[in-house]
Amino acid sequence: MVARTAPVHAPITQFSTRDNQLVIGPYTATELAARVGMTPFYAYDSGLIRQRVAALRDIMPPALHIHYAVKANPMPAVIQLLEELVDGLDVASAGEIRLALDSGVEPALVSFAGPGKSDSELAAAVSAGVVVNLESEGEMRRLAAQGERLGITPRVAVRVNPAFELKTSGMKMGGGPKPFGVDEERVPQMLSELSALGLSFQGFHIFAGSQNLKAEAIIEAQNLSLELATRLAEGLPVAPSWVNIGGGLGIPYFPGERPLDLDPIAANLERLCEAARRQLQGAHLVMELGRYLVAEAGVYIAEVVDRKHSRGDTYLITNGGLHHHLAASGNFGQVIRKNYPVCIGNRIDFPEQEQVNIVGPLCTPLDILADKVTLPRADVGDLVVVFQSGAYGYSASPHGFLSHPPPGQVLV
Ligand SMILES: *Cc1c(COP(=O)(O)O)cnc(C)c1O
């Protein structure tokens, strides 16, 4: 019989080590904790973010525009860094519009998506000159009214809810009934009303889903997106200037997951950029990425405050948990809880290993950072590092729950 081996995490190779410690930016884990002045905290490595964007630019066709989806990590210093590296910023609230504009980005390179935009958010977008991705006919009419009131012609894109969906995606955001975008079959009617209302049409936004690790599924969704945009653009008085074909590039979080193979996606995008240029009168393609640009550059670091045994299990109790990192606790969209990759940041190699459960300080059994992991033996004061934490960490967690202090946050 062949022994079945349990799937393990893909090795974390982006960080180096020094003095038996994990190195983030120029700091060892212990130095970084001292530099931040507190635990727990999030730290994002700017060198790794730069490398990630450079590697993408290297492999992707030069005509492809890359946007950063701010909701993945809205820390101002991170937005500032990415603003210099990418071609535009995608936002999903008036607060994110302000954060984006603070980076100095040109307003026309900001697009504002998301269902349920209020009149005041629409007015803020029109005044700023950012592009509004329309999510419904009602929103289009309310936007036109704001434009009229302000005496400014709103720049708009139409977010299309395609009839297809992104297969094997972590989060599906297109296909079937959805609160996002306008069903593709209703878009032609909407476009004629749009031009009657005098809105300035910029492009189409088609976002099928997120966190996908299968190149073939992404390629298929991108092909279908461009076909759809081409069909919708037929007979329009103004051709779209761009088509945002979504992103969906995933990163490996859990045992058994492997990094995405970008080569076939890049080769296909080369073809699609050329097709867009020919079929859509020079329109360019946009790919919007959140986690792919930042997730692997970030860590969450908490300190062990207690070690205890319970009926044969060892618990490391840390000062950080679900309230800071909902996703690592398994409560942000996971159906079956799986561990994020973790390490003891100040004991990379240690002769004595043990199996532990790492939990947070909250009075709920949901507050788990790692379940039954084998790690170097750790004591009170040691640093637990949760990898792949640069996206949907700090801002996607319920800091108020149980009234502990919020985590620190640094870009190094
Ligand atoms: C959340 C979101 C993204 C970013 O998704 P990632 O998985 O972080 O890349 C991109 N576009 C839209 C419309 C989104 O809502």
- The CATH code belonging to domain 74-289 is 3.20.20.10
Please confirm whether the linkage preceding 40 is cis (ω < 30° from 0): yes
Residue 112 beta carbon below 6 angstroms from any ligand 1 atom: no
Contacts of 187 (CB under 8 A, 6+ apart): 158, 160, 232
Tell me the Ramachandran region of residue 265: left when phi exceeds 0, alpha when psi lies from -120 to 50, beta otherwise. Answer: alpha
User: Quick one: fold of 16-44+296-411?
Assistant: Lyase, Ornithine Decarboxylase; Chain A, domain 1 (2.40.37)
Q: How far apart are the first and last CA of the chain?
A: 50
Residues of the chain with pLDDT under 50: none
**Could you tell me the distance, in angstroms and rounded to a whole number, from the CA of residue 65 to the centre of ligand 1?**
15
- CA-wise closest residue to 405 among 40, 152, 8: 40
What tens digit of pLDDT does each residue of 104-160 get?
Answer: 999 999 999 999 999 999 999 999 999 999 999 999 999 999 999 999 999 999 999
Where helices occur in 234-331 by DSSP H, the ranges are: 262-279, 291-294, 326-329
What tens digit of pLDDT does each residue of 320-330 get?
Answer: 999 999 999 99
Residue 133 beta carbon below 6 angstroms from any ligand 1 atom: no
**Do 367 and 335 form a contact (C-beta atoms < 8 A)?**
no
Residues known to be catalytic: 363
**Could you tell me the distance, in angstroms and rounded to a whole number, from the CA of residue 301 to the centre of ligand 1?**
25
Q: How far is CA 374 from CA 8, 247, 314, 341, in A?
A: 12, 35, 11, 11
pLDDT value at residue 19: 97
Integer Cα distance of 320 and 281 in angstroms: 53
pLDDT value at residue 3: 55
Integer Cα distance of 326 and 346 in angstroms: 24
Return the domain boundaries, the chain.
16-44+296-411, 74-289
Tell me the Ramachandran region of residue 250: left when phi exceeds 0, alpha when psi lies from -120 to 50, beta otherwise. Answer: beta
pLDDT value at residue 237: 85
User: pTM above 0.85?
Assistant: yes
